[in-house]
Amino acid sequence: MLRILCCLVMALWVMPQPVHASEEALRDVIERERASLSLIPRARLKALISEPASHAPSFSYSRAWIDAQPRAKGGDEWRCLAEALYFEARGETVKGQFAVAEVILNRVQSARFPSSICGVINQGTGRKYQCQFTYTCDGYKDVIKEPSAFERVGKVARAILDGANNNLTNGATHYHTTAVSPAWSRTYTRTAKIGVHLFYRHNFRTAAKN
């Protein structure tokens, strides 16, 4: 009798423990995932888990980068900036166009100028040759005759408004082309030369707007 009891105890000891329902569900999920993965080609799996060989630059001052961007759009501020770039810098390099746009945004941040892009660009408009940006008061109608050029500068405007820019002009709030030499350029500090434009800032700092 004792021998029989010992055999029963040993049998119970080696008997596998019952699997809980949660464990069974987990095993079922794993098996289904394995079955799904087995249907994916090996080359595709390798591509999914591998790091790309190289990363394209997220931003650069290049024609190729600008041309690769989606068609730009925006509200009044974007439109004002795009038009200013078209009439002031459409013949410049992409870097030069960003620099001109930067000057406009620097003015917006300065207490000495209007607090909006459209306000900065149209400051003095209506008084011939007394405006800040010549194209707004030169007496000619502002007509966009080169749609492809406007599309390109529109992308520059969109990019800089979205923050894709570095400090190219070292805080410049003024610029002129190398073809002219305005009187104010002899009293301001030159900060950069990019393309056919020279950039300047005042010799004193003003508090930026909040």
Give the pLDDT confidence score for residue 43 in this predicted structure.
59
Reported as a pLDDT band with limits 50, 70 and 90, residue 65 is very high
pLDDT, average across residues 191-207: 82
Q: pTM of the entire structure?
A: 0.68
Q: What is the pLDDT of residues 150-159, one digit of tens each?
A: 999 999 999 9
Compute the half-sphere exposure of residue 172: CA atoms within 13 Å on the CB side of its CA. Answer: 25
The conformational region for residue 139 under phi > 0 = left, psi -120 to 50 = alpha, else beta, is left
pLDDT digits (tens, 9 = 90+) for 74-130: 999 999 999 999 999 999 999 999 999 999 999 999 999 999 999 999 987 666 666
Q: Which residues on neighbouring strands pair with residue 17, listed in sequence order?
A: none
